[in-house]
Amino acid sequence: MTRDLTHYSGGAHRAGMSGRFGDVHNPATGEVTSRVPLADAGEVAAIVDVAAAAQPAWAATNPQRRGRILLRFVDLVNEHVDELAALLSAEHGKTLADAKGDIARGIEVVEFSAGAAPHLLKGEFSDNVGTGIDVHSLRQPLGVVAGITPFNFPAMIPLWKAGPALAAGNAFVLKPSERDPSVPLRLAELFTEAGLPDGVFSVVNGDKVAVDALLDDPRVEAVGFVGSTPIAQSIYAHAAANGKRAQCFGGAKNHMVILPDADLDMAVDALIGAGYGSAGERCMAISVAVPVGERTADALVARLKERIDGLRVGEATAPDVDFGPVISAAAKERIEAAIATGIDEGAELVADGRGRTVEGFHGGFWVGPTLFDRVRPEMALYREEVFGPVLSVVRAADYEEALRLPSENEFGNGVAIFTRDGDAARDFSSRVQVGMVGVNVPIPVPIAYYTFGGWKASGFGDLNQHGADAFRFYTKTKTVTTRWPSGIRAGASFVMPEGS
């Protein structure tokens, strides 16, 4: 029996009133487990009403007290991590271990935000810039801000957005993916239990109607988005046209370069985890391996094939499962179509993940690990994001060709190089035209106090997620020039002051 989910506003669950619902599936079985309400513009406006009313008092709460509430929230998430991971796995399909990692990387940003806010919200001060004149600046919250987040990290990315926004004194309205909304709703409950004032954190479920309502509401001052590049670009343009700040992150085609001197066992381990973990449904997944030289490529492909044959695909709670199903039937169909296209284009299919079944879960959205060799840059398989467990090997003749491939690619999210040569790694890190670089690290997601963001078609906006950039994004600067009368000679001036 399916259940109807809700929105969350004012510290309580709110039933959907639009009459429209979307199905939420268990991707391991294909069964519909719940229905999620799809908000209309009126429902979005009502939730923003509540957020706007709650925000001034939250902004007036000092940063230390705001931080204590966020740290209490972190404690509650840790207390409920097994429950949250099970809920996440049931709607997303990723393994329980991977689900716990999703949650852990999210609360790291909340912890950082709670501690860093008092420091990062400090302004500047200069005394006596003119005779008896001082200048200081304030960093103040924007007001109501919104996050529009994807299915693949239903805990981490909402918390990456909400943590710094709340620590800075904003009210936050989350529009999570309608494919796996239960974890965001549970996080909202835990925020309330932690002592966050009612209305400061809200969840509105929906589709494009809800997104457009948030983008068009003049009280929503800023929007953060993570998803595909076409939608990221569209939301960025829509938000900017309405005078909002926007921080929109799109797709990726992350490369891993393997030089001839690399530790090949380490490189293969890295590719297996980064290419196939979470069924490849990560914006930082490695989807392109670039071995340099034919000998390196032959050895790499042979070892990858051997390892792929032993990977276990299955339901999240089963023991020793390496990765689970993809999110939906449509995703499975799209990924298998991309595999077929790769074959038609002439790439060499080394391992075929199509037609995968799992005993006892025949209705699940299963795609096995897939490996292509001799992929060429002009192929759609190389150019387009697959977002599934599909790894392409593009052979490079030399280092310079390997450097050019990620640098000239449309996307610029993450890249890695595996080598024992420090000079080569240093040169690569300096010259490659990609936003995040790993040296013998396959998924270079920075720690919470650095910022996360890609270049080119992977990111739209001039400020990244978490780290100091997040506080710049979620605050505005006010500059105050002060003079106190103390017997200074009066008299009107008709020229711009020059500080004299």
Residue 290 sits in the same domain as residue 392? yes
Report pLDDT for 248: 98
Whether 119 and 59 map to the same domain: the answer is yes
pLDDT of residue 487: 60
Residue 335 lies in a domain: yes
pLDDT value at residue 494: 75
pLDDT of residue 495: 77
pLDDT over 70 for what percent of the chain?
98
- Cα dihedral: 88, 92, 98, 99 (round 10): -10
Instruction: Compute CA distances 286 → 243, 253, 279, 280, 317, whole Å.
Output: 36, 7, 11, 8, 25
Residue 4 has pLDDT above 70, yes or no: yes
Give the model's pLDDT for residue 457: 96
- pLDDT at residue 493 tops 80: no
| Token pair recorded at residue 73 | 């929230």
What rounded mean pLDDT belongs to the chain?
A: 96
Domain housing 398: 254-439
Going by pLDDT thresholds of 50, 70 and 90, the confidence category of residue 99 is very high
Kindly state the average pLDDT of the residues 327-336: 98
Look at residue 493 and tell me if it is in a domain: no
Kindly state whether residues 233 and 365 are assigned to the same domain: no
- Do residues 30 and 363 make contact, with C-beta atoms less than 8 angstroms apart? yes
Q: Given this model, what pLDDT does residue 155 score? A: 98
pLDDT given for residue 460 in this prediction:
97
Is residue 401 situated within a structural domain?
Answer: yes
Query: Phi and psi at residue 294, in whole multiples of 5°?
Result: -65, -40
For residue 494, tell me if it sits in a domain: no
Residue 61 shares a structural domain with residue 208: yes
Residue 68 has pLDDT above 80, yes or no: yes
**Residue 329 domain flag:** yes
CATH number at residue 263: 3.40.309.10
Instruction: Check pLDDT > 70 for residue 498.
Output: no
User: In the beta sheet, which residues pair with residue 482?
Assistant: 134
Tokens in use for 24? 């939420």
Q: pLDDT at position 455, please?
A: 97
pLDDT, position 302: 98
Confidence of residue 157 (pLDDT cuts 50, 70, 90): very high
Choose the final residue of a domain: 384, 406, 439.
Answer: 439
- Looking at the fold, whether 243 and 264 belong to one and the same domain comes out as no
Whole-number Å distance between alpha carbons of 343 and 40: 43
Instruction: Show which residues are catalytic.
Output: 283
Asked if residue 447 is part of any domain, the answer here is no
What value does the mean pLDDT take over residues 442-471?
95
241 and 258 belong to one structural domain: no
Distance CA 313, CA 323 (A): 5
| Position 10 pLDDT exceeds 70 | yes
Place of tokens 């001052």: 221
Which strands form 31-37's sheet, in the order they lie side by side? Answer: 3-4, 31-37, 21-26
- Statement to judge: residues 229 and 293 lie in one domain: no
Q: Are residues 194 and 274 in the same domain?
A: no
CB 289 within 8 A of CB 256: yes
Residue 448 has pLDDT above 90, yes or no: yes
Reported pTM? 0.95
Cα-based distances in Å from 76 to 73, 101, 163: 5, 16, 15
Angstrom distances, CA of residue 423 to CA of 255, 352, 428, 442, 483:
20, 38, 9, 19, 56
Whether residues 260 and 364 fall in one domain: yes
pLDDT at 375 over 90: yes
pLDDT at 312 over 90: yes
Q: Where are the strands (E) in 40-178, listed by range?
A: 125-130, 133-141, 144-148, 171-175
Instruction: Give yes or no: residues 187 and 261 share one domain.
Output: no
pLDDT in tens, 383-418: 999 999 999 999 999 999 999 999 999 999 999 999
Query: Does residue 1 carry a pLDDT above 90?
Result: no
Helix (H) / strand (E) element for 55: namely helix 41-60
Give mean pLDDT, residues 92-121.
97
Q: Is the pLDDT of residue 499 over 80?
A: no
The confidence band for 496, taking pLDDT boundaries of 50, 70 and 90, is confident
pLDDT in the model for residue 467: 95
Q: Determine, yes or no, domain membership for 452.
A: no
Q: Is the model's pLDDT at 500 over the cut of 70?
A: no
Task: Taking residues 47-65, report their average pLDDT.
Answer: 98
Domain count, the chain: 2
Choice among 32-36, 43-47, 474-478, 494-498 with the minimum mean pLDDT: 494-498
Q: Give the residue-averaged pLDDT of 286-311.
A: 98
Does residue 471 share a domain with residue 403?
Answer: no
Same domain, 277 and 394: yes
> Does some domain include residue 495?
no
What pLDDT, on the 0 to 100 scale, is given for residue 193? 98
Q: Flag whether pLDDT at 438 surpasses 60.
A: yes
Mean pLDDT, residues 60-82 taken together: 98
CATH number of the domain bearing residue 235: 3.40.605.10
